[in-house]
Homo-oligomer: A and B are copies of this chain.
Amino acid sequence: MLHIEFITDLGAKVTVDVERPEQVLDVQRHYGRLGWTSGEVPAGGFVFPLDNEPDFDWSLIGARAWTNPEGEVMILHRGHAYRRRELEAVDSRKLKLPKAVKYSRGAKPTDPEHLREKADGEIEYVTLAIFRGGKRQDRFAAPQGQATGGGPREARPAQATQNQANQPNRPAPTQPSQRPAPRAAAPAPAEDDTPF
């Protein structure tokens, strides 16, 4: 027998018994759809192969796609909304980086220090996941015909393809005590796209 330790969508610590090791991922999917998460986001974010990005099953980590009022697809995880960013390959003498896709958000004053990443200027980011290199793993794919994890790429609007380096003007959240939730800025949010 195995036991998976979750934090529920309500913040409670709940352990779920699992009969066999091969059921672990499916149980994570099942409860992940409810927003339950297990463990912490690693410093620097989860790392997955780039080829898993198009149909990644976000329920595996308790996240889900969400279209914000401006029509942009974002990923919601524990009440935070992460924006998709495509990072182009870098091939200079000092630095070689393959292309990647990153889901990140501006840091908030309540984020712990070890999760914050300095970008240009004074802006700090927190990364949920980065897809880069590697070999596709089918176990990370969303089940076919299921909306949970398959949506982001298809629905992705043009502005989501900007390179992070080209976004110095995107402001970091400046009034955290008034903007703790991703939908805070929505003047008239539709009922079915609640980030909760």
Contact = CB atoms under 8 A, between A and B. Distances in A.
Interface of A: 1-5, 7-8, 10-18, 21, 24-25, 28, 38-49, 60-61, 78-79, 87, 89-91, 95-98, 108-112, 114-115, 117-119, 125, 127, 130, 132-135, 137, 175-181, 183-187, 189, 191-192, 194-196
A114 B177 CA distance: 12
A91 B78 CA distance: 26
Ranked nearest first, the 6 interchain pairs of A and B with the lowest CB-CB distance are A134-B194, A43-B110, A44-B180, A12-B38, A117-B177, A5-B13
A118 B125 contact: no
A167 to B, nearest CB: 13
Contacts of A133: 181, 183-184, 186, 189, 194-195
Residue in A40, A46, A187, A196 whose Cβ sees the most chain B Cβ within 10 Å? A196
Contacts of A177: 44, 117-119, 125, 127
A39 B11 contact: yes
Contact of A79 (B42, B118, B185): B42
Contacts of A60: 10
Residue in A5, A11, A21, A115 whose Cβ sees the most chain B Cβ within 10 Å? A11
B13 A196 contact: no
Given A42-B79, A44-B177, 17 more contacts: A2-B14, A3-B15, A5-B15, A8-B24, A11-B38, A14-B38, A43-B110, A44-B110, A44-B180, A49-B196, A95-B185, A96-B184, A96-B187, A112-B114, A119-B177, A132-B184, A135-B192
Contacts of A118: 109, 177
A3 B2 CA distance: 9
